[in-house]
Amino acid sequence: MADAFLQLTNPGSALLADLPVLPFVEFSRQALSAIHERGGRVSAFFAIPQANNFRLILVLALDAEGNLLLSACDVEREYPSLTPECTQFHWFEREIAEQYGIKPLGHPWLKPIRFNHSEEGEERAPGVTEYFAMQGEAAHEVAVGPVHAGVIEPGHFRFQCLGEDVFSLEISLGYQHRGIEKMLQGGPDNKSIHLLETASGDSSCASAGAFCQLLETLTPGGLISDRDQALRVVAWELERIANHAGDLGALAGDVAFRPTAGYCGRIRGDFLNMTAALCGNRFGRGLIVPGGMGYEVDLAICNKLLPWLKKTANELDSALDLLFDAPSVLDRFENTGTVSSESASQAGLVGVAARASALAQDVRSKHPYGWYCQHKIPMPLAKSGDVLARAWVRRQELAASVQIVQELLENLPLPGKKPVPYRLAGERIVVSLVEAWRGELCHVALTDASGKFSSYKIVDPSFHNWFGLALSLRGEQISHFPLCNKSFNLSYCGHDL
């Protein structure tokens, strides 16, 4: 039997009437077949309440083919869990269960990922749940957070240990939940892009870009100029550079290698200030807007940024040479927090975490958008899947991103036509993917007859990768947790939304 998927390319939209709504048995069969036989990944899986039931909508990314496959099915209060056949579903099914009380029967570990509900339906605070426990005289438990030392978002980590060795790590989030997806319903309006820019503050440009692509895809004639496409890439790659530089400095700090830690703290600030030179905000707020860019970048700004970029990139390279040449650092990084390629694939990891485990996955290359459609982006891959691999991938991406920004600032296209005001087509479904600095960021929207959002779903890369952090701690010493945690550096608020 031929599979009945709606096929799109990124970004892409179609009439809601064209979305196949299948019986669950057929929905499950074709989804698992596309994953196991065609290499599909679960980019989004979410529920929409209807009059008498719920509609489950699935978005699969076929990296090898460069396509997105969409399908749906209707369920009532339960359905057979897909997780036993494909681990990638487990976090999505837990989210659906806690949001709507829909039970995936046979799910191996149906716990809340943000909130818990009592049998009476009362919503409990994040972290109030039953945790896995180990028995035995040598077993002990360590609880960390949600309040942490230093400047860090709240999250609770529960370790089950035998001596110093971690047997399992459970991660409880939800402390940063703001209801952003719900607030986007009925939009777009003047506050929509500001909500998206604050979904995960260190990814403001990526979030704004995904949102704007979505609006432009739904707008007839919603094309933007080559110049604005290039400037968006400058914003996205500067965001990547600043965060990768900061992460490598923080990794140096976690192993008490002060030279690189000190240099990178200052250098990250320089790259953030380059973004501020474009729009007045270090995180790029207001820089990317529907139809193009919120600020014009003239020759004077380019002439200011280019020597600044070259000087700072050289300083960063010197600081990273110190880090990667230090035997004491390599001793701590190597074989620490390893996630195998098989485990990374099964868990559906994305971004740096995936590429450090030899998974060739980058939206810019596999599902290109805008400027990336005509330009090949290097994709550094490591095999070891440890802290060193995640650090090495970041360093390689830094070099590539610096070169991209430099070339674009030296060769910006001429200004184009003014953008078409966005006016969204009605009764459609649209998917927009971008490669944020952590990995794949997926936005999915459904519009009603008037072109307003009836539903909006965001899948931050951290939603895929938090379980990867838990996997990296298995069998590790508990003292390695800060290093493993920083090597992923995931977003709490991006997960909680």
Residue 59 confidence (pLDDT): 98
Query: Residue 92 sits in which domain range?
Result: 6-113
Same domain for 225 and 337, yes or no, is yes
Same domain for 258 and 362, yes or no, is yes
Residue 418 confidence (pLDDT): 73
Asked if the structure places residue 447 within a domain, the reply is yes
Residue 474 to residue 488: CA distance in whole angstroms: 15
Asked if the structure places residue 160 within a domain, the reply is no
Same domain for 58 and 202, yes or no, is no
Q: How many domains does the chain have?
A: 2
Give me the average pLDDT of each 10-residue run along the chain (497 residues).
86 96 96 96 97 96 97 96 97 94 93 69 70 85 85 90 91 92 95 95 97 93 89 98 97 96 95 97 96 92 96 97 97 97 97 98 97 95 97 98 97 82 89 98 97 97 97 94 95 94
Residue 211 confidence (pLDDT): 97
What CATH number should be reported for the domain holding residue 275? Answer: 1.10.645.10
Same domain for 89 and 191, yes or no, is no
Same domain for 437 and 310, yes or no, is yes
What CATH number should be reported for the domain holding residue 101? Answer: 3.30.460.80
Q: Model-level pTM?
A: 0.95
